[in-house]
Amino acid sequence: MLSDHSLIQADGLRFSYDREPVLRGLSCEIERGEFVGIIGPNGSGKTTFLRHLTNVLHPDEGSLFLDGEDYRNISTRQLARRIGVVPQESSIIFAFSVTEVVLMGRAPYMRSFGFERQQDIEIARYAMERTDVLHLADRRMNELSGGEKQRVIIARALAQEPEILLLDEPTSALDIKHQISIYGLLTQLNRERDLTIVSVSHDLNMAAQYCRRLILMRRGDVFLSGPPLDVMSEESILEVYGARVSVERRGDPATPFVLPVREERSG
Amino acid sequence: MVLLLIVLLLAGFVALGFGPTQGGDSVEELSFWSARLRVLRVLLGQMSGTTVETIVLKLRLPRVLLAAVVGAGLAIAGGTFQAMLRNPLADPFILGVSGGASVGAVAAMVFKLHLHRFSMPAVPVFAFAGALGTMMLVYWVARTRGRLQPYVLLMVGVIVNAVLGAVIMYLSTLVEFGQTHEVFYWLMGGIRDTSGYAQIGITLVFVVIGGVALVWQATRFNVLSLGEEHSQHLGVNVERTKLIGFIAASLVVGAVVSMSGPIGFVGLIVPHIVRLIWGPDHRLLLPASLLAGGIFLVVSDSIARVMVIPVGVVTAFCGGPFFLVLLKRQQKRTGC
């Protein structure tokens, strides 16, 4: 590491909606160039943590640093130039074209009263090329399939020219083919452009296949963190999810596979 | 883009040329072109001192100008609320501002309030006060934890509108028999002949200032129409944008409705028509709605004047079917 601090550093984050604590002293670090998957059961605070990373929520206690800078000192606009976000689903009420949506990724760089400059258009084009949606450029968003839409949203996030890409269950609405292609794309972006990727996922197997590190969350804190092979074990899944599974190793290099174990109910 | 605006401006000018010569009280029986020629001569100052000049400059020009300003204001406010509330059914009256204006106006008529001392016409002033009061009430109620949530805003607007409707009904029962017509006519909405240039000027100032504020936020309205969290991810200060949108659009609606009463359909349909033709980019949509709204109401009001019917009837009958046809064609083309 060139610098002495991590790209993202969370120290003892506490947060509650109303009175229900969701984050209970969460601490973790994410280094530049990592591909991290955040996993954990429903309500363990994954999405809440992600919303802290995007400055949508602010911690009640604890602090959060981006490249050594306190989040509280970073404006929404500044942050949007450094972090691109791909949410779970996007509902778009007006018939914006694909190009228009991707160009909105340039919003954090734009002034009021103005249209995109040639440079913005080129950046958007490049982002569309990377995510393989250039051929859809003139189509309307509401004509696209779920997989295509998600690629467009990733292109929009890339047009922000971010250092970090945050994804909240980016493939939960997609079929297996599109899941593979989205994760493949993310891997490529991570390797070729040194883009730091943090992805929240419910799909343990997808996460284990593609992420180089997993953060397993339990009740608002980090339970385990490390390479997929270390994090995903029958014991840890039982402990955190309360579910009996069998974990197998496959492939070379080996990656863990989680298989559900059928419970025979008696009586 | 610039070309579109020029075309719209030109169309607006032609429409303006139409208005002054049409009408039940036409100056003379003239052919289409000679009537227009005469108006042109008046506007160029070649007919000073004639009856024609008086009629054109004192009666018809103000009416056409007011129609343009009112239509422009309603359309840009409608387009704004549709983006801000993420609801294509939103119209300028959805947040209760027009209800407030109506209560103010009807109260001024029923209680015979006047502002002779300030030499101001009572009805528009009280209507505007009612609009402002409602705007503040809606904002105060809808604001939760420093945020304006679209659906809360919508609900508050609908309820406030309903309550104000009841107030208007109650006030109407207090009206003396001879006044019923006046109250009823105000509530139907329309461009009236009685407005002077000063009042039109004040309304225009509100529409221009509000319009500039809204176009200033147009890039952010684009992002905002994708959803609030998306907007935050894209670096937009969501609450500030909504607040500017709410205040600017409400002031425009308040100012406009105070002069004309609530005229339906313009603010709902014009932004949709513009969107169907030129797409949903608010940097284009808002200024284009402004101009198209002006044109639409000038034309509608000219028809209303010739046929002596309320302009709301014309806007509904022209706008409704036109919109449906466009929508149908759009559906055929995109299949969705």
User: Is A145 contained in some domain?
Assistant: yes
Domain count, chain A: 1
Q: Which residues contact B239 (CB under 8 A, 6 or more apart)?
A: B146, B147, B148
- Shortest alpha-carbon distance between residue A19 and chain B (Å): 15
Residue of B nearest to A158 (CA): B234
As a whole number of angstroms, the distance between CA B134 and CA B127 comes to: 11
pLDDT at A1 over 50: no
Contact: B227, A91; criterion CB under 8 Å: yes
**pLDDT at residue number B15:** 55
**Which residues on neighbouring strands pair with residue A65, listed in sequence order?**
A9, A70
CA-nearest of A93, A75, A70 to A5 is A70
Contact: A104, B226; criterion CB under 8 Å: yes
* Residue A140, token pair as written in the block: 């309307």
Burial class of residue B166 (count of CB atoms within 10 Å of its CB; 0-12, 13-18, 19+): exposed
- Higher pLDDT among residues A182 and B322, named by residue: A182
Residue of A nearest to B330 (CA): A95
Q: How confident is the model at residue B295 (pLDDT cuts 50, 70, 90)?
A: confident
Residue with tokens 């044109």: B295
| Spacing of C-alpha B223 from chain mean position | 25
**pLDDT at residue number B25:** 46
CATH numbers and ranges of domains, chain B: 27-334 (1.10.3470.10)
> What are the tens digits of pLDDT across the range B221-256?
999 888 888 888 998 989 999 999 999 999 999 999
Chain A neighbors of B86, CB-CB under 8 A: 93
Contact: A87, B232; criterion CB under 8 Å: no
As a whole number of angstroms, the distance between CA A209 and CA A207 comes to: 5
User: Do A48 and A71 meet the contact criterion of CB atoms below 8 Å apart?
Assistant: no
User: Whole-number mean pLDDT of chain A?
Assistant: 89
User: Is A253 contained in some domain?
Assistant: no
- In our burial notation (b when 16+ CB lie closer than 10 A, e otherwise), range A135-165 reads ebeebbbeebeebbbbbbbbbbbbbbbbbbb
As a whole number of angstroms, the distance between CA A31 and CA A46 comes to: 18
Handedness of CA A108, A113, A118, A121 (dihedral sign): positive
Tell which phi-psi region holds residue B176, choosing left (phi > 0), alpha (psi between -120 and 50) or beta.
beta
- Write the CA distances from B272 to A51, A239, B103, B158, B266, integer angstroms: 34, 55, 29, 21, 10
User: Do B164 and B103 meet the contact criterion of CB atoms below 8 Å apart?
Assistant: yes
> What are the tens digits of pLDDT across the range A218-232?
999 999 999 999 999
- Higher pLDDT among residues B16 and A233, named by residue: A233
- Higher pLDDT among residues A24 and B43, named by residue: A24
Interface probe for A, chosen from B89, B233, B284 (most Cβ of A below 10 Å), is B233
CB-nearest to A142 from B229, B237, B336 is B336
CA-nearest of B260, B319, B257, B298 to B67 is B298
- Shortest alpha-carbon distance between residue A203 and chain B (Å): 23
CA-nearest of B329, B305, B321 to B67 is B305
User: Is A76 contained in some domain?
Assistant: no
As a whole number of angstroms, the distance between CA B85 and CA A214 comes to: 39
**pLDDT at residue number B24:** 42
Percent of chain A at pLDDT exceeding 90? 62
> What are the tens digits of pLDDT across the range B12-67?
565 555 554 444 444 444 556 666 666 667 767 776 766 767 766 777 778 888 88
pLDDT at B182 over 90: no
Contact: A95, B279; criterion CB under 8 Å: yes
- Shortest alpha-carbon distance between residue B237 and chain A (Å): 7
Strand-strand pairing, A69-70 and A61-66 = antiparallel
**pLDDT at residue number A166:** 95
Using N-to-C axis directions, what is the helix angle for B32-43 and B2-18, rounded to 10°?
100
pLDDT at A265 over 80: no
- Higher pLDDT among residues A89 and B79, named by residue: B79
User: Do A39 and A207 meet the contact criterion of CB atoms below 8 Å apart?
Assistant: yes
User: Is A223 contained in some domain?
Assistant: no
- Higher pLDDT among residues B2 and A143, named by residue: A143
Interface probe for A, chosen from B1, B226, B277 (most Cβ of A below 10 Å), is B226
The whole domain housing A119 covers: 92-161
User: Is A65 contained in some domain?
Assistant: no
Contact: B219, A110; criterion CB under 8 Å: yes
**pLDDT at residue number A217:** 95
As a whole number of angstroms, the distance between CA B309 and CA B318 comes to: 13
Q: Which residues contact B240 (CB under 8 A, 6 or more apart)?
A: none
pLDDT at A162 over 80: yes
Residue of B nearest to A108 (CA): B235
Cis status of the peptide bond prior to B124, with omega within 30 of 0: no
Q: How confident is the model at residue B277 (pLDDT cuts 50, 70, 90)?
A: confident
User: Whole-number mean pLDDT of chain B?
Assistant: 82
**pLDDT at residue number A192:** 85
Q: How many CA atoms lie within 13 A of A146 on its CB side?
A: 13
Phi and psi for A20 in degrees, rounded to 5?
-80, 110
> What are the tens digits of pLDDT across the range B113-154?
777 666 667 888 889 999 999 999 998 998 887 788 888 999
Chain B neighbors of A101, CB-CB under 8 A: 226
User: Is A267 contained in some domain?
Assistant: no
| Spacing of C-alpha A215 from chain mean position | 12
Percent of chain B at pLDDT exceeding 90? 31
> What are the tens digits of pLDDT across the range A68-86?
999 999 998 999 999 999 9
As a whole number of angstroms, the distance between CA A114 and CA A112 comes to: 6
Q: What angle do CA A241, A244, A250 make, to 5 degrees?
A: 100
Residues of chain A contacting B, Cβ within 8 Å? 51, 54-56, 75-81, 83-85, 87, 90-97, 100-101, 104-105, 107-108, 110, 112-115, 140, 142-143, 157, 160
User: Do B264 and B109 meet the contact criterion of CB atoms below 8 Å apart?
Assistant: no
Contact: B232, A115; criterion CB under 8 Å: no
